[in-house]
Amino acid sequence: MDTALLFWNNIISTCGVPKIIISDRDPKFTSEFWTNLYDMLGTKLAFSTAYYPQTDGLAERMIQKMEDILRRFCAYGMEYKDHEGYTHYWVTLIQAVQLAYNTSQHSTTGKIPALVEKGWNPLSPVDQPEEESSNHPPHSQRFP
């Protein structure tokens, strides 16, 4: 049920029910539970062909990019210790990496994922407004 909860929290609750899911033949997505869920939701499940470069290559490039970004963040020593004392460098960085990834133009598509998915590009904390506005209270305006 962990996968189902992740699917609900990260896909359905933020993006809605997908019309189609492309997946490998991992049992996590082909079990009776999942096939029944897809039927109830009206979601079509399409399988990628094993070793098919057009699907495997895109997924692998995305995974490599995410690993590279996390590795760079972790190199700066950001760490998180769980209740058992184990150190997890990447746990606290996932959302920041997700924002960076989804608001950056991708070389494979030439598009920004958030713009394609949502129709607008969310601003990141490092983005600067295009125009200065005097409507902000003095304490929230930028220093010269």
Identify the residue whose tokens are 């494979």: 108
Shared-domain flag, residues 71 and 116: yes
Cβ of 93: how many Cβ atoms within 10 Å? 19
Shared-domain flag, residues 120 and 66: yes
d(Cα 49, Cα 78) in Å, to the nearest integer? Answer: 39
Shared-domain flag, residues 57 and 41: no
Q: What is the pTM of this model?
A: 0.46
Structural domain count of the chain: 2
User: For residue 20, what is the enclosing H or E element?
Assistant: strand 20-23
Average pLDDT of every residue of the chain: 74
Residues 82, 101 contacting (CB under 8 angstroms): no
Domain span including residue 106: 51-125
Shared-domain flag, residues 40 and 70: no
Question: Has residue 114 been placed in a domain?
Answer: yes
Question: Has residue 21 been placed in a domain?
Answer: yes
Shared-domain flag, residues 74 and 116: yes
Per the model's pLDDT, the better-predicted residue between 89 and 32 turns out to be 32
Residues 69, 78 contacting (CB under 8 angstroms): no
Among positive and negative, which fits the CA dihedral 17, 18, 19, 23? negative
Question: Has residue 22 been placed in a domain?
Answer: yes
In this prediction, residue 60 carries a pLDDT of 72
